[in-house]
Amino acid sequence: MKPITPWRGRTPPALLALRAAALVLTLAASAHTLGHGLTEPGHALAFGLLVAFGELARRGGAPGEREPAPLAAAGALAYALLGDSAGEPTAHGPLQVVTVVVAAQLVAAVPQLARGGGPDLDRAARRALTVGFAAVCFQPLYNSGQAVRWFGEGLYFALFLLGLLALTAVCDALLAALVARRRALPYGTGTPPPYGPFLGEELRALAGIGPAVGASGVVLALGVAVAGLWALPVLCVPLLLTQVSFRRYAAVRTTYRQTIASLARATEIAGYTPPGHARRVAALATAVGRELGFTGAQLTVLEYAALMHDIGQLSLLDPVAGGATARLPAADQRRIALLGGAVVRRTGVDPEVAAVVEQQADPYREQLPAARIVRTVNAYDDLCGEGVGGPLGALEELRLSTGHDHQPQVVEALARVLGRGGLTRAGAG
Same domain for 320 and 389, yes or no, is yes
pLDDT along the chain (429 residues), means of 10: 38 79 94 91 92 77 56 90 88 93 90 71 89 93 86 80 87 86 56 73 76 84 88 83 74 76 78 82 88 82 88 71 64 81 79 87 86 90 72 84 85 86 49
Of 111, 90, 110, 108, the residue nearest 38 (C-alpha): 90
154 Cβ contact partners less than 8 Å away, ≥ 6 residues apart:
none
Last residue of a domain, one of 218, 251, 284: 251
Cα torsion through 337, 343, 344, 349, rounded to 10: 160
Other C-beta atoms closer than 10 Å to the C-beta of 242 total: 16
**Measured distance CA(386)–CA(321) in Å, rounded:** 10
pLDDT given for residue 318 in this prediction: 65
Count how many Cα atoms sit within 13 Å of the Cα of residue 53 in the half-sphere of its side chain: 17
> Do residues 414 and 309 share a domain?
yes
* Residue 8 is assigned to a structural domain of this protein: no
The amino acid occupying position 278 is A
| CATH at 383 | 1.10.3210.10
Q: Are residues 240 and 353 in the same domain?
A: no
Dihedral sign, Cα of residue 264, residue 266, residue 269, residue 274: negative
Q: Which residues pair with 84 in a beta bridge?
A: 89
Domain match, 208 and 272 both: no
- The DSSP code sequence of 321-334 is GGG-GGGS-HHHHH
- Within 8 A by CB and 6+ apart from 343, the residues are 308, 311, 312, 314
Residues 216 and 284 reside in one and the same domain: no
Identify whether residues 269 and 243 lie together within a single domain: no
Residue 3 falls inside a structural domain? no
Helix orientation angle between 209-227 and 70-80, rounded to the nearest 10 degrees = 50
Domain co-membership, 206 together with 313: no
The reply to whether 232 and 289 lie within a common domain is no
Residue 66 maps to a domain:
yes
- Domain boundary among the residues 223, 251, 279 is at 251
| Burial of residue 285 (number of CB atoms within 10 Å: 0-12, 13-18, 19+) | buried
Residue 337 sits in the same domain as residue 364: yes
Distance CA 374, CA 266 (A): 18
Positive/negative CA dihedral, 277, 307, 370, 313: positive
Residue 293: left (phi > 0), alpha (psi -120 to 50), or beta? Answer: left
Asked whether residue 256 is assigned to any structural domain, the reply reads: no
Within this chain, do residues 95 and 131 fall inside the same structural domain, yes or no? yes
Tell me whether residue 2 is in a domain: no
284 vs 415: CA distance, rounded Å: 11
Q: Which of these three, 229, 251, 273, is where a domain ends?
A: 251
Evaluate whether 50 touches 236 at the Cβ level (below 8 Å). yes
Residue 373 is assigned to a structural domain of this protein? yes
- 354, 413: one domain: yes
Residues 307, 279: Cα–Cα separation, whole Å:
6
- Cα Rg for the chain, rounded, in angstroms? 26
| Residues recorded for the chain | 429
Number of domains into which the chain is organized:
2
Beta strands in 238-363 (DSSP E): none
Strands 84-85 and 88-89: antiparallel
Residues 169 and 117 in one domain: yes
Assess if residue 7 is contained within a domain. Answer: no
Instruction: Find the domain containing 193 and state its range.
Output: 13-251
Q: Determine contact, residues 258/201, Cβ cutoff 8 Å.
A: no
DSSP states along 69-129: -HHHHHHHHHHHT--EETTEE----HHHHHHHHHHHHHHHHHHHHHTT----HHHHHHHHH
Q: What does the buried/exposed string (b/e) look like for 313-350 if buried means 16 or more CB atoms within 10 Å of the residue's CB?
A: beebeeebeebbbbebeeeebbbbbbbbbebbeebebe
Has residue 175 been placed in a domain?
Answer: yes
